[in-house]
Structure 1
């Protein structure tokens, strides 16, 4: 049986990754389902468009706050109780919706749920990354990330049926039950979790500089600005092209469905050919994606764009997460992976605002090419960066 080095005698990461992947499917299914049901509920309650649109902005704010706060906690507290706390917190935030509250409380529920989801995600990645040998870190992380994509896709696909069958109150109840079902997988986690780390004086950004990760974070901000900016207006763009709603649903599902298999594949490749090659591919595909949307004039073209988007996310995320795990000590992985999620959240917050501001001036085509240019800058930053971290190797392969 494969084991970790004697300095880290805990079970290999796979034994942590598989139960956490099972729990992730249920938690993300709830998130995927609520993504549609919440917005339809707000519209049914007569909420103005600005309130409905605030769901996206509030979610981005929750990503930033949740990833920072839970990342630090993951390095200073025992991680297993944090997992239970985040799941139960998410259940509570969803359970409030069963009362069919006013819009302002719905927005608050979205924020709390996002903070809890980011906590579960950040703590999960820190546990799996820290428990994995370098040679298996990519594939172990891919089990969890692929499960998240699968759960989100299943929830999104089922949300319409759940809403039609049970209505808003019943739909919210079903989505609150799903995370509770996932808790059972947490009891399957093996013993032997790392002890909480002592409080360190060195801040996360200082560690990012010393570990050679700051350029990755900055490039990720640019990538997220570009993708979220283009993504925010795609439904309106597809409607302007005359694409029927049923085709829109099928097309948008390709992004998440592509991720399910791609994350597993890129996780294995990251362990074989190196992290840098994988996340550089993700940055390159991210610059290509808005260009595909700019030239698309029918559902098939949009489908190609969403498929490339799924590949870009998969290669970028799994390669970056494994790279971060290679370059920082185990006791700081929660904070540094949380900082990575924060950089994603910052880009996701700014990108839609920028896209909305320039589209009336440049049109959709101009907006898409602008977003491609921003993503291209992110690629160039990584291409010309110089390594100056504490580890000499870059690709994270076993034996390197």
Structure 2
């Protein structure tokens, strides 16, 4: 009876967490297709738009490690609440501030929301998921991202076109406020006491250079660069190419594809291994960037968006599950935060770097470079993803186990 009660309690927590995650990503994604256009309307250049949007990742980079330690020391709920609260407050700043320095500050503050919420969300799901079907549960719980990023951009683009920016920003705040209510019933799992040596900052940063973390963080960096360019410049690229396509539909197509693949890849990874699906995701991501570089019609843009969504929809849950496999509960918040910091850093530098690239050589060459980054990430994983070249290749092709996994049952 106690076991059954514990299972039901975990299911209730996961349901509340799913609802909170859905509202969080809907709030955040409502601004994806509209913020670049908003900044262009207030007079920002392409490079300034890239810099402002890149500041979002600065907030993530500066505080990701702090929230990782906080999640391990004080529990997952506190960082979830901080993330959702920041997500509710930040959109109001876009209403009040229109100068470039002011928008940079608001955007950096907004970045705290993802640093806190995603760290707490992933760590808590990994805590509650049984080892035997961890991939399946993490895959299902990761659905909050594509559902939210499907609803948000379509709704945000519609409100911006029909009612202006003020109502759009108020909607974003309202969704996050509802998400705070969903976090109230969540209860932290027992907190494992840590040795002083385990929780100090030097130990934290040594984790980054450990073999089980380093390659995953490097892959996230490569994809973060491509992802940052995609979500900063696609609306402007569509406009510059004079293609009759609502940019929100590009993101919606990607979100729907990301949603679809997560239904089966998580469960399949429990059977066939995580490495095969990480390899597949990187191949698909590279193809999507190549298509985007040559896109001249709405259909090609939508196909590229669909493939990008499928690639990220496989990659993100698989990387998260591998991180969970390779970490203990008392260090999981820190390990998650370190790996995802690779993504944060890529997004942070993508805006200003690719803004300059777009000014010099145009959007097409910029996305061609992004395809090269995805191919580089694939080569790193194929050759360095495990203890040696042979083990790496076998793991990446689904022919061998993860040598760094703490669950070898």
Tell me which interval the TM-score lies in, with the shorter structure as reference length: 0.7 to 0.9
Partner Cα distance (1:304, 1:41) in 2: 26
Partner Cα distance (1:382, 1:72) in 2: 27
Question: Does the 8 Å contact 1:229/1:353 carry over to 2?
Answer: no
Partner Cα distance (1:186, 1:196) in 2: 24
Partner Cα distance (2:167, 2:239) in 1: 30
- Single out whichever of 39-48 and 269-278 deviates more from structure 2: 39-48
The 1:72–1:380 alpha-carbon spacing in structure 2 relative to 1, beyond 3 Å, is same
Corresponding residue for residue 131 of structure 1: 128
The 1:331–1:43 alpha-carbon spacing in structure 2 relative to 1, beyond 3 Å, is same
Corresponding residue for residue 280 of structure 1: 279
Residue 135 of structure 1, CA deviation: 1.9
Corresponding residue for residue 171 of structure 1: 168
Q: Extract unaligned runs of 5+ from structure 1.
A: none
Partner Cα distance (2:241, 2:23) in 1: 35
The 1:280–1:141 alpha-carbon spacing in structure 2 relative to 1, beyond 3 Å, is same
Corresponding residue for residue 113 of structure 2: 116
Residue 240 of structure 1, CA deviation: 4.4
Partner Cα distance (1:359, 1:183) in 2: 39
- Single out whichever of 256-265 and 377-386 deviates more from structure 2: 256-265
Is 1:269 aligned to 2:268, yes or no? yes
TM-score (norm 2): 0.84
2:90 to 87, 93, 98: 93
Residue 366 of structure 1, CA deviation: 4.2
User: Which digits, 9 at most, give the CA deviation of each residue in 1:304-349, with x for residues without a partner?
Assistant: 1111101110111111100010111111111111112210011223
Is 1:141 aligned to 2:138, yes or no? yes
Partner Cα distance (1:359, 1:85) in 2: 35
The 1:45–1:354 alpha-carbon spacing in structure 2 relative to 1, beyond 3 Å, is closer
- Equivalent residues in 2 for 1:1-400, closer than 5 Å: 14-47=11-44, 50-97=47-94, 100-103=96-99, 104-163=101-160, 167-190=164-187, 192-195=189-192, 197-199=194-196, 200=198, 201=200, 203-210=203-210, 212-229=212-229, 232-246=232-246, 248-358=247-357, 364-385=363-384, 387-388=386-387, 393-394=401-402, 400=409
The 1:169–1:262 alpha-carbon spacing in structure 2 relative to 1, beyond 3 Å, is same
Residue 393 of structure 1, CA deviation: 4.2
Residue 398 of structure 1, CA deviation: 7.8
Question: Does the 8 Å contact 2:77/2:187 carry over to 1?
Answer: no
Aligned residues: 392
The 1:271–1:397 alpha-carbon spacing in structure 2 relative to 1, beyond 3 Å, is farther
Partner Cα distance (1:31, 1:382) in 2: 30
User: Which digits, 9 at most, give the CA deviation of each residue in 1:360-393, with x for residues without a partner?
Assistant: 666555444333222212111110116349xx94
Residue 114 of structure 1, CA deviation: 1.8
Residue 38 of structure 1, CA deviation: 4.3
Question: Does the 8 Å contact 1:259/1:314 carry over to 2?
Answer: yes
User: Which digits, 9 at most, give the CA deviation of each residue in 1:36-71, with x for residues without a partner?
Assistant: 454454444445555443331111212222322211
TM-score (norm 1): 0.85
Question: Does the 8 Å contact 1:14/1:132 carry over to 2?
Answer: no
The 1:360–1:54 alpha-carbon spacing in structure 2 relative to 1, beyond 3 Å, is closer
Partner Cα distance (1:13, 1:251) in 2: 36
Residue 270 of structure 1, CA deviation: 2.0
Partner Cα distance (2:367, 2:134) in 1: 35
Partner Cα distance (1:306, 1:269) in 2: 24
Residue 244 of structure 1, CA deviation: 1.2
User: Which digits, 9 at most, give the CA deviation of each residue in 1:63-90, with x for residues without a partner?
Assistant: 2223222112111212223322332233
- Single out whichever of 190-199 and 252-261 deviates more from structure 2: 190-199
The 1:270–1:241 alpha-carbon spacing in structure 2 relative to 1, beyond 3 Å, is same
Partner Cα distance (2:298, 2:162) in 1: 29
Partner Cα distance (1:291, 1:206) in 2: 36
Question: Does the 8 Å contact 2:208/2:339 carry over to 1?
Answer: no
The 1:207–1:145 alpha-carbon spacing in structure 2 relative to 1, beyond 3 Å, is same
Question: Does the 8 Å contact 1:273/1:397 carry over to 2?
Answer: no
Residue 194 of structure 1, CA deviation: 3.2
Partner Cα distance (1:319, 1:380) in 2: 17
